[in-house]
Amino acid sequence: MINRLLSYLVTSPQYLLPQHFLSQLISYATQMRWPPGKNFLIRQFIRYYQIDLNAAIDSDINSYPNFRSFFTRRLRPELRPMAPVPNGVISPVDGKISAIGTISRQMIIQAKGQYYSIEKLLGGNSNLAEQFFAGDFITLYLAPRDYHRVHIPVTGRLRQMIYIPGWLFSVNRHAVQVIPELFVRNERVVTIFDTDFGLMAIILIGALFVGSIETSWMGIVTPGKKRSPQTWTYPKVNSVILEKGAEVGCFNMGSTVIILFSAGSISWEKNLVPERDVQMGELIGTYYG
């Protein structure tokens, strides 16, 4: 009860904040190129979150043109090897499991006592949602200190991308516990992939202070000047094909990724439970196909 009350106290002010305006301000600040200013931000961030710079490909903060480029820094590949399992599903990110399981009665669990509709998550597309009924999902939270590039869990061909405007509530554990239907209220980018064993969706959820969401094939998708739903369809001819482990995109501040698989196509590793940390490339499941 005390923890839940604390979560309400922490998150309630967010309903009154000018979320997009504040996120835009943060975005501008993270793009500042004045060396003393951007280096000050980087050093404070490293100190506060105890960032291990030795894990980055480039450990010299002076070489980053702005804070955003540091925040989305790439890690040394040898520190994130892909699990050597031919039919393995790898973690797309460094993060913490928020929820994992089966999509039951067209609903996904957000937290204890909190659920949301898969159809709403996918922007109200009932035909698309039906293809994931009784499928499997995993929700992964990326804290500010985490590596913020998102990779594809299995090889896939991009079929569709959907931008869905919305709020920018925080997606930390306090918000997830008390804000109803958080992930279907927040701004997000839905990407749909065909794989050898069925359909897969990778959903990048926006959040408070997230400067933008980028994809490897388009660049910055959010924020847009016109916040209205948009859909891009990708034909098989000259299609975007990403090999397992390839980069899908990145967040310019911390957020959440949700992965959906069609019914009967995968099985999760038995040691995956909420609050467990995972690293990009780690084996999280196997697929049938």
Catalytic residues: 94, 151, 255
Residue among 154, 138, 60, 41 nearest 99 (CA): 138
SS3 104: strand
Residue among 4, 30, 74, 38 nearest 212 (CA): 30
What length does the chain have? 289
Residue among 279, 223, 163 nearest 21 (CA): 223
The two structure tokens encoding residue 135? 């499928």
Element containing residue 182 per DSSP (H, E): helix 182-185
Residue among 247, 289, 248 nearest 267 (CA): 289
**Rounded CA gap, 182 and 139, in Å?**
12
**Rounded CA gap, 213 and 253, in Å?**
9
